[in-house]
Chain A
Amino acid sequence: MINYNVDENGFYGKFGGAYIPEMLYPNVEELRQNYLKIMAEPDFQEELQALLKDYVGRPTPLYFAKRLSEKYNTNIYLKREDLNHTGAHKINNTVGQVLMAKRLGKKRIIAETGAGQHGVATATVCALMGLECIVYMGEVDIQRQAPNVARMKMLGATVVPATSGSKTLKDATNEAIRDWINNPEDTYYIIGSVVGPHPYPDMVARFQSVISEEIKAQLKEKTGNENPDYVVACVGGGSNAAGAFYHYLDTPEVKLVAVEAAGLGVDSGESAATSVLGREGIIHGSRTLLMQTEDGQVTEPYSISAGLDYPGVGPLHAHLHQSGRAIFESITDDEALQAVLELTRLEGIIPALESAHALAALGRIGAKPDETIVVNLSGRGDKDLTTYLDRFDLHGK
């Protein structure tokens, strides 16, 4: 049987590892040696579980979307990660990592952010713990995700614009890594996705795995069967998908559907569909699939969704793609926007642009009337309202 979890060297199949300059080695090594031990400590778990329950608001509901199910003539459940405190799944990870940072005695927290959801979730837990917080965000993303920038500032974080390259998530990540090189003693880097050098992909997946842990129990309660036929989630770096897939990885009858952003179309030159357009390479310390030129220069991705606008993908997902364990779909900007409107008008839920990519794949799956689909609704759409009002021409109506 293929192993879908990380091996002792930090690899998922051939992907993963820690391709980092020596300057980062002591910090990453400290984390590698301690993360599993700390996560297993009873008082760590007690503190984490209490925060997830009373602060984040877990468990999040598993909601049977009746009208959406009728539309697609199947049974669709939405895992409501959008109802978490701060509006997305990102806080599952930041709560865990901030406790990790405290156990390691770190005083200063840095993070990268794309859509701003991870930045907000990091700024939130830093406010909660009284820790200094610096968030790196691409200049382009600062423009298109203004509400989240305001929230981070309100929470006391310093938002530093990343002005190099495409000025999006990839460049924000570069800047965060440079900050960590410059501050190796007191600083903890809270990576927001299942990317980066080992042990980050595994640690973030474990903190997000609460999503599929809950789906299993909730689905069992509702249908008598803990296994759906499909689990569908969007993938940028891939943290919400990792969390939604985690406890189903070794259950082959549950089909996993990973949905990437096609941008203006996979062949348009303006896309972020890494599984289609990427080749094996190294980005942000990890061997994975990567959009790059023939000469190995990282190319600039595009998606309307800042959270999916990333030229790589987590090594777990590269492995799921290559091994055929997950089905990969790509959804264009327009298809995602259609799905936003559809969910909003059928169910009264405004999804985030990222999550809308997962919803838009419902039409591609071809599920039968007696089958069950769980869609991970990773975030809410408040941060995208300006885009929605523009694109749906709702100004002044």
Chain B
Amino acid sequence: MENRIKTLFEQKPQGLLSVYFTAGYPNLEDTVPIILELEKNGVDLIEVGMPFSDPLADGPTIQQSSEIALRNGMTIPKLFEQLKNIRKHTQIPLVLMGYLNPVMQYGVERFCQKAREIGIDGIILPDLPLSDYVREYTELFEQNNLSKIFLITPQTPEQRIREIDSHTNGFVYMVSSASVTGSTNGQAVANTDYFQRVGQMGLRNPGMIGFGIHNRDTFSQACNHARGAIIGSAFIKALAQEGSLEQNIQTFIQGIKQEV
């Protein structure tokens, strides 16, 4: 069966732009408009964040957007309701990203089935251990045609990178540097040794660099070291600007994509 993430990486060799946003932020019903506007502006892949009260791996921007989204009433059932007809409007690859506990309470099996019904292509759950996934969920994800995307970091040993690569399908999420999300100190693209080391490993999955990618410079530098890059916090900050959602998204994405 076709998986849109796989197709995307087959068709587009370089400079892929993936954008993360927190569902339910800035307003509860913005989810679908944001997805459609991102697609219109030429984004290649979208990660829809499922807000959690205690996002351990996230910096202040995503923490605050999550808090607001939860206050706005975002839940997993609500998100599925919003995305129910999304495949009538767009074929852009969609990934759901969030922490394990809300998914566990919804029921992992039910979650995967619902994601398949809607036409979700991949799942990222940073705090689901690789060992638990391999033991309990591999079949479930495969049955539902969902890519399971795992993270690696500059500290991940080579052997573990290979193990992660063997269980990932879609792409390997290369965390750029030792940092929670949303750092703008420029370290995101400083670790070229790490990018080259991973690049030379000949992994079966393509790599995407994320965490700390926040403007045109960091995006284009990341693209030199991987198939593309992921922007989250910087985009969420752009959504908070004055002006319409459409205008903010257009301004931000065009700013990133210029001359790449």
Contacts and interface: CB of A to CB of B under 8 A. Distances in A.
Given A17-B132, A164-B67, 12 more contacts: A21-B127, A22-B175, A23-B153, A178-B59, A178-B180, A181-B179, A182-B179, A184-B178, A185-B155, A282-B101, A282-B104, A292-B101
Contacts of B75: 295
Interface in A147-177: 164-165, 170, 174, 177
Interface residues of A, number: 33
A368 B116 CA distance: 61
B208 interface: no
Given A26-B157, A170-B54, A297 B70 contact: yes
A183 interface: yes
B200 interface: no
A298 B151 contact: no
Given A181-B180, A184-B155, A282-B101, A23 B175 contact: yes
Interface of B: 52-54, 56-57, 59, 63, 67, 70, 75-77, 99-106, 126-129, 132, 150-153, 155-157, 160, 164, 175, 178-180
Interface of A: 17-23, 25-26, 164-165, 170, 174, 177-178, 181-185, 279, 281-285, 290, 292, 294-298
B101 A283 contact: yes
B257 to A, nearest CB: 28
Contacts of A21: 56-57, 126-127, 151
B157 A20 contact: no
B109 to A, nearest CB: 15
A181 B104 CA distance: 24
Contact of B151 (A22, A164, A183, A290): A22
B140 to A, nearest CB: 18
Contacts of B151: 21-23
A165 B54 contact: yes
A281 to B, nearest CB: 5
Nearest to A298: B53
Contacts of A17: 129, 132
A318 to B, nearest CB: 14
A156 B152 CA distance: 36
A285 B178 contact: no
Contacts of A170: 54
B129 A295 contact: no
Given A20-B127, A21-B126, A22-B175, A296 B102 contact: yes
A295 B76 contact: yes
Query: What 6 A-B pairs have minimum CB-CB distances, sorted nearest first?
Result: A296-B105, A296-B102, A21-B126, A297-B53, A22-B151, A26-B155
A58 B100 CA distance: 42
A165 B180 CA distance: 17
A2 B242 CA distance: 60
Nearest to B78: A295
A182 B178 contact: yes
Max chain B C-beta neighbours (<10 A), residue from A19, A26, A183, A279: A19
A266 B100 CA distance: 27
A174 B56 contact: yes
A174 B152 contact: no
B178 A23 contact: yes
B156 A285 contact: no
A182 B211 CA distance: 12
Nearest to B51: A297
B148 to A, nearest CB: 13
A285 B70 contact: no
